[in-house]
Structure 1
Amino acid sequence: MASTDPGSEETTTIGALVPLTRPGWVEAGRHLLAGLQLAVSEINSAGGVGGKALELLVRDTAADPQKAVAAVDELARLGVVAIAGEYHSVVARAAAVRADELGLPFLCSSAVLDRLTDQATKWVARLAPPQSRGWQTYADFLSRAGHDRIAVASQQSVYWASGVHILRDHLEANGATLSDISMSSLDPSMLCDQLIHHRATVLLLLVGQPEPAISIVKSVRNDGRLSTIKIGAPAGQPEFAEWATLLGEDSAAIPFLRYRPGHLDPLGSRVERALREKLGEAPSFVALEGYDTIVVLAQAIRSYGTDRNSIAESWPRIEVAGTRGHIQFFRTPATTVWQWTGVPIQIAERTPGNPAQIRGVDDAR
């Protein structure tokens, strides 16, 4: 169960922001929380940090930026030493801005929007790669595969608009064209007509999961006119088991971004096994992001204490082994927060004939 009370003198409390109810991506939130909780449990079983147990105070953001801001305010009042988590980029941005205003360290686990704050801040660090890096990698993958007529089915949000901008700039620089098809007034069958009109060879899903993503895939797969079109999902919808459950064989051969190497090292493999047991299914890279978040915060507290300013000042000095590689934070031109620049990026897909299995289709970088 999520903790609701502030820690005692025997505990060090960390706030956790996680989407656990709709319209949030609940499956992603469940995996993120599992990773956070597993790391806390293992650290506490080994004696805690500085003789104190870690305690998570979990708050559900439900993909709502206003709820996230209210949660940051509440957690700050409750005396947490730092905040961890969040999956949705727009929500994480709201939380990061508020954490910066309050002087509260925030280690963002999973959100990728390049600019999490308006101005450079010492208070916020991030484990996931900035969207520009990941989505440019995806655009390069499409270009190498010879695709030059790409269509995007998009919904309205800062995150999706940013994705369209990144893809268009990178693809057009390589001689391709990109058609942005807004789903605000289209149903999936109308989208199929638009794909024919644009003569697209690839459709990218920049839409929510499960809907309308699931309905779009079913409509495209069942339209005989589109038998040769490829579908892609740079936002990572196929990473989660729900995708295969809802789509069956139609879930396969849809390349997506995942932020983990093709093969985990011994630490990553051990944690992956433990998370599989905890979740009852294959853990996503989001679960590994959650685990790594607590590993980093524990190292910061172990080395620099529980003072909020000391934790924020520690980001550039942190070096720790995570489940997906050696973690260090740097300043980068694209972002306003401390960034793990070494996070691996892989393009993968669910395997045709065995969609329960995920295979790499492009080298991790």
Structure 2
Amino acid sequence: MTTPPSPPAVPARPDGSSVRIGALAPLTRPGWVEAGRHLLAGMDLAAREVNDAGGIGGRPLQLLVRDTAADPQRAEAAVDELAGLGVVALAGEYHSVVARAVATRADALGLPYLCSSAVLDALTQAPTKWVARICPAQSHSWRIYADFLLGAGHRRIALATQPSVYWASGARILREHLAPHGGTVVGLDLTELSPEAVCDRLARHGATVLLLLAGVPEPAVSVVKAVRDDERLAEVLIGAPAGQPEFAEWAELLGGAGTAVPFLRYLPERLGPLGTRVGTALREQLGQEPSFVAFEGYDTVTVLADVLRSHGTERARIAEAWTSVDVEGTRGRIGFSRVSGVSVAQWAWPPVQVVDQDPANAGRFRTLHSG
């Protein structure tokens, strides 16, 4: 399915007096379209609320939306175009490899970028003042996931992987965190192994967990179906630290086979008043339960609007303001700091949960671990 880019949150004024933000999201394949749709819904809702409250110093906030389609080169071209159109900042993006390209180009152009949902620790090769991030760094959240596995008694872990900087980084984090606790990790390359061959390797290795470090719908869905259908693997836990089961597409494709698959989710156990109100509005806008990615989108534009109101619309002043941010977000108070090993200003930390869908009620998520 392809989804056309959403229109700007408000129309551009002929005199060019709107305050423009470039909004980036994967809205067509091979991007994760559902994630992009939720991300954009959150950004759009926040922009409309900003404008309903008077905009930025009386000027309307306008989102200039560009579809990255999970393509780093396309995203870089979008950054150049948006910079030329006079955006004061960039927001969004879901895919880590794409966000890294966006952050690198934004850094080179001197264009502030607030990343919503891409967790790769090193979004830029060197520390930069131009980029900040709402979502947690991968090393933080994936270690929490590894702690969940250890706490559940798992020591023999298999990874079903595709080639990607993001998946490779996740695999490294898991190996380094599990090894001191007696954990062993074996990699299963999905470019070489069919789902049935993955099952054979799992049975021989004796792993108690198979983690899906792979894209949706394929090859992840086929691997899940094969493992669930293999009687030898009835006791193997399937996990998806990247959050694949968060979206409705997962349940639509897998039904009951997609339940009891623990994944990372960046929501608190209970939302506060703001989060509850925003969740209701997003549910109405999306026609389904909003994912944590939709809340990330909302928080991103909310933070940028606060910075624009308090520090003005000059790009350099926006970038200088990251570490002074103190904004109430949907999932807690948001502020940025410098974190070791992370190249951008980071919210340390958003809430992190390990959850799964309840096999007895696929519409209900169970919290298994929090960090």
TM > 0.5: yes
Match of 1:354 in 2: 361
Contact 1:249/1:353 (8 A) holds in 2: no
Q: Deviations over 1:117-151 (max 9, x none)?
A: 01110000000100000000000110011101100
Aligned in 2, Cα 1:6/1:118: closer, same or farther, shift over 3 Å? farther
State whether residues 325 and 342 of structure 1, in contact with CA within 8 Å, keep that contact through their aligned partners in structure 2: no
Equivalent of 1:271 in 278, 282, 286: 278
Residue 3 of structure 2: aligned partner: none
Structure 1: which 5+ runs fail to align? none
* Residue 354 (structure 1) shift: 1.2
| Residue 84 (1) aligns with residue 87 (2) | no
| 1:232 paired to 2:233 | no
Counterpart CA distance in 1 for 2:133 and 2:151 is: 29
- Determine which of 192, 195, 213 is the counterpart of 1:188: 195
Are the aligned partners of 1:347 and 1:360 in contact in 2 as well (CA < 8 Å)? yes
Deviation at 1:352, TM superposition (A): 0.9
Distance between the aligned counterparts of 1:138 and 1:230, measured in 2? 13
Q: Which runs of 5+ in 2 are unaligned?
A: 1-5
Distance in 2 of aligned mates of 1:329 and 1:346: 20
| Alpha-carbon shift at residue 359 of structure 1 (Å) | 1.8
The count of aligned residue pairs is 364
8 Å Cα contact 1:92-1:116 kept in structure 2: yes
Q: In the alignment, which of 339, 347, 350 is matched to residue 343 of structure 1?
A: 350
Query: Displacement, 1:114?
Result: 0.3
Instruction: Specify the alignment match of 1:32 in structure 2.
Output: 39
- What residue is the counterpart of 1:197 in the other structure? 204
Alignment of 1:61-210 (within 5 A): 61-210=68-217
Question: Partners in 1 of 2:330 and 2:56 — Cα distance?
Answer: 19
Q: Which amino acid aligns with 2:254?
A: L
Cα shift readout 1:47-91 (whole Å, capped 9, x = no counterpart): 112111100000000000000100000000000000000000000
Q: Is 1:326 aligned to residue 333 of structure 2?
A: yes
Could you tell me which of 37, 58, 62 is aligned with 2:65? 58
User: CA offsets, 1:88-118, max 9 Å, x none?
Assistant: 0000000000000000000000000000001
Q: CA deviation at 1:3?
A: 3.4
Coordinate RMSD, CA, aligned: 1.1
Aligned equivalents of 1:154 and 1:66: distance in 2? 23
Secondary structure at 1:49's aligned position in 2? Answer: coil
**10-19 vs 321-330, greater mean Cα deviation:** 10-19
Task: For 2:317 and 2:241, locate their aligned partners in 1 and report how far apart those are by CA, in whole Å.
Answer: 36
Alpha carbons 1:149, 1:201 under 8 Å: kept: yes
| Structure 1 residue 189, shift from structure 2 partner | 0.8
Question: Would the aligned equivalents of 1:125 and 1:339 in 2 still touch at CA under 8 Å?
Answer: yes
Please tell me whether residue 49 in structure 1 is matched to residue 56 in structure 2: yes
Q: Distance in 2 between matches of 1:43 and 1:143?
A: 44
Identical amino acids, percent of aligned pairs? 61
Q: Does 1:3 find its partner at 2:22?
A: no
Distance between the aligned counterparts of 1:208 and 1:111, measured in 2? 15
Show the 5 A alignment for 1:255-266: 255-266=262-273
C-alpha distance in structure 2 between counterparts of 1:320 and 1:58, whole Å: 24
With normalisation by structure 2, the TM-score equals 0.96
Correspondence 1:248 to 2:255: yes
AA partner of residue 301 (structure 1): L
Q: Which amino acid in structure 2 is aligned with residue 145 of structure 1?
A: A
Q: CA deviation at 1:43?
A: 1.1
Q: How does 1:205-216 map to 2 (within 5 A)?
A: 205-216=212-223
Q: Secondary structure at the match of 2:64?
A: strand
Name the amino acid aligned to 1:2: P
Q: Report SS of the residue matched to 2:333.
A: strand
SS of aligned partner of 2:323: helix
* Contact 1:127/1:339, CA 8 A, preserved across alignment: yes
CA distance in 1, matches of 2:283, 2:54: 24
